[in-house]
Structure 1
Amino acid sequence: MIGLASCGATQSGDSAPAAGSGQPYAVSEHGSFAEPWALAFAPGTDTLFITEKAGTMKFLDTASGTLGTVTGLPEVAYAGQGGLGDVAFLPGEDGPLAGRTIYLTWAEPGEGETRGAAMGRGTLACESETACTLEDFSVIWRQVPKVSGAGHYSHKIAFLPDGEYLFLSSGDRQKGDPAQDLGTNLGKVLRLNLDGTPAPGNPFADRGGVSAEIWSYGHRNLLGLEFDSAGRLWDLEHGPRGGDEINLVREGANYGWPVVSNGVHYNGDPIPDHPTHPEFTAPAISWNPVIAPGDFIFYSGRLWPEWKDQALATGLATMALVRISFDDQFNGTEQARYDFGKRLRDIVEGPDGTIWIAEDGPGGRLLQLRPE
């Protein structure tokens, strides 16, 4: 199927996707939310959890349409890009919602005007079909150091498919240089035990401290962190003016930010492109102009077989769903761009293979995509 292409959009090394007519899906609306930020189905259920940036969380039984609220959430630093972030469930747990292990990330206030991302873990307790609360919830990880500003927290969670470890994206907090500093966990992908401590065998473990958390570095603002069907980890990353990218995340690799980027600084100052510094790991695909991604998934192919193992990325500035394929050398090519006319924040595949998308901002709608 061919989607609608944005005018003037190109990817490095690839031609722009051709414009087309029609869309290979039908869209239904399932309510609206207050600045929705992340979506996650509780494994083995039809229940979708939705975080709202100001610090609230809802859940929707997608089979019945019943909407509920989760209480007992942490205090968040709601400003700029900060607030309540990701929600994730420990793989392998099944049965009723009550008793599930749940993970959250958020922007946490610090001393003075500083802030930093945090991750916590607790147990879900449900008093009724519309009311749950977090019990025994505690912070298990923090960005180090807390800094000024309210951007680039990233704080996306991805569990290994077997549930042994979790990976966490930690943004550069709009500071740039810390992404190259192995003495901080800013601008990094981290590999952690389920209790938030450094996982054994990480590439910089001999340095101790937060260096022991680091799996890869030289990242900017990673708003997507996903495993593909073969168990490989990928990230989706905001560049500056240009240079949005998808990376295959490799152990110990340095992705070059802020030394290299396929974009330029916001004031127009140049940044060397990736090919000028081959010592850094280059992206699988990058965009200039940007797509301003919200998140992405690798699609199973259940309802759209032609999309199997392709990435579907939500676009904020582009207001589009972007579909990307990868070859055997892990080079990406944009296949289609589907215009929604609204900023798109998050995306998740439902248990039946339908696609769920949250629009960005106040009153962001929850949309379900099915084959046309």
Structure 2
Amino acid sequence: MITQRVGPRVLGVAVLCLAFAASPALAAPTPTTAPVHLALAAPATDGDRAPSLTVRTLKFGLDVPWDLDFLPNGGMLYTERARKRITYRGPQGTTYVVADSPGNVWAEGETGMMAILVAKSFRQTRRFFTCHGSTAGGSPDVRVVMWRLAADNRSARRIKSIVTNLPTTTGRHGGCRLRYGSEGALYIGTGDAAQTPNPQNLRSGGGKVLRVVPTTGRGWPTNAFSGSAHAMKRRVFTSGHRNVQGLALRADGRMWSVEHGTYRDDEANLLRNGGNYGWQPGPGYDESSPMTDFSLPGKQIGARWRSGTPTIAPSGATFLRGPKWGVWQGGLALGVLGDQHLRILKFSPEGKWIRSWKPPALDGRYGRLRSVVMGPGNDLYVTTANGSGQDRILRVTPRG
């Protein structure tokens, strides 16, 4: 196990970040790229000093571990995107590959074996969910699949697909994130597949956050469009998204999303049932379009935080919990791909952005950061996304 401990540093209120989009068609920065930031208008005081972080490498030699989640026994399941693999890691570090390139799983561009979520009923059912590319229907799509982990944790089998036909073409903007809501619903964040009509088309699953019944994949009964005759529209919780990369449930029970901007304005959004977040890149998938186009018909909802220009390419997100996180407790932690760091955003109870931090322990030291997940003991677990078998799962612990 590799351990590093580094002291705190505070990020500026206004940020100018040298970053690249997460699309493989664009060049990623090297690990030595030096981002540019402005200073805070006022430094932190002793009363809100950020904690130091201890970073330990739990696993090295992975290839884009896209997501992870924890089991009741303290073990974890994690995915590797391009390897199309799901692995169990026990509390003592023993690992078993439980699914290795299962049939019809499709990996191309940004798509592959992506999100993973352990079912709330796992103790009784041993079920978990993944979201991955698939060719099971002939042409590629992205779908949410229910699995069962064997009692000995050495294998898993697919039970059924609960949501299918989430759009993808080349794999661009074909990501997928899964989270439980406080009401027990399953939330599914999707990309727009770089197809102009999808974000505003309520019959498309692309560029949306869907909310479904976990056991069936049917639309949650209180969704804004639950009375529609169209099955996908009944699933829609929010629309008008470009490329949702993260979903995070705040302690107050409200769901937030994190998504990639174009050359500007990555976003953190507070989600509202039936809300339209204003991405409409038409005609011709015009990426100079604003992330929130307030000229569209109806009412659009603006972001609670934007990166500005250029983007930093945030990905997974979680709200930090537990008093050991100090001033960061309750902050929204983002894994950042393009600018290669951990970003922590503090919001007021009403959702107004207050300030940001960029802990030096995870600033450019491990390359591109993909997923951030709260784990046992309120430690933070982080996956990297550098490829070529050079990736890690990190455990991050705050220290005073």
Settle same-fold status: TM greater than 0.5: yes
Which residue number in structure 1 is paired with residue 64 of structure 2? 35
SS of the equivalent of 1:199 reads coil
Is residue 188 from structure 1 mapped to residue 216 from structure 2 by the alignment?
A: no
**1:118 alignment partner in structure 2:** 143
Distance 2:175 2:397 in 1: 29
| Correspondence 1:1-372 to 2 at 5 A | 2-3=8-9, 5=11, 9-10=15-16, 16=38, 18=40, 24-32=52-60, 33-42=62-71, 44-54=72-82, 55-61=84-90, 63-71=91-99, 73-94=102-123, 99-109=125-135, 114-127=139-152, 131-134=154-157, 136-144=158-166, 146-163=167-184, 165-194=185-214, 195-209=216-230, 210-258=232-280, 269=288, 271=290, 279-288=299-308, 289-338=310-359, 339-341=363-365, 342-362=367-387, 363-372=390-399
* Deviation of 1:2 (Å): 4.5
Please state how far the C-alpha of 1:226 moved relative to its aligned partner.
1.6
Q: How many residues were matched structurally?
A: 353
One-letter amino acid of the structure 2 residue matched with residue 37 of structure 1:
W
TM-score, scaled to structure 1: 0.86
The runs of 5 or more residues in structure 2 that have no matched partner are: 1-6, 18-36
Matched residue SS, 1:306: helix
Higher relative CO (Cα under 8 Å, sequence separation at least 6) belongs to 2
Cα drift, residue 216 of structure 1: 0.9
Under a length normalisation based on structure 2, what TM-score does the superposition of the two structures give?
A: 0.80
> Equivalent residue of 1:241, what SS?
coil
- How far apart are 1:329 and its partner, in Å? 3.1
Distance 1:172 1:272, change over 3 A: closer
Can you give the 5+ residue segments of structure 1 that lack an aligned partner in the other structure? none
Stretch of structure 1 that moved more, 153-162 or 233-242: 153-162
Residue 8 of structure 1 deviates from its aligned partner by 8.4
| In structure 1, C-alpha distance between the alignment counterparts of 2:372 and 2:291, rounded to whole Å | 32
Could you tell me how far apart the structure 2 residues matched to 1:35 and 1:270 are? 30
Q: CA deviation at 1:6?
A: 8.8
Output the amino acid matched with 1:369.
Answer: V
Q: Distance in 2 between matches of 1:309 and 1:22?
A: 13
Contact 1:171-1:221 at 8 Å conserved across structures: yes
1:241-276 deviation per Cα after TM superposition (whole angstroms, max 9, x unaligned): 11100001101110000269xxx965xx45386566
Taking the aligned partners of 2:135 and 2:326, their CA distance within structure 1 comes to 45
Contact 2:258 2:268 in 1 (8 A): yes
Tell whether the 8 Å contact from 1:301 to 1:307 is kept in structure 2 after alignment: no
**Percent of matched pairs sharing the same residue:** 22
Equivalent position amino acid for 1:364 in 2:
D
The residue type paired with residue 193 of structure 2 is: R
Task: Work out whether residues 216 and 250 of structure 1, in 8 Å CA contact, stay in contact via their aligned partners in 2.
Answer: yes
Aligned residue for 2:233, secondary structure, equals helix
Pairwise CA RMSD of aligned residues?
A: 2.9
How much has 1:74 moved relative to structure 2? 5.0
Q: What is the distance in 2 between the residues matched to 1:199 and 1:159?
A: 12
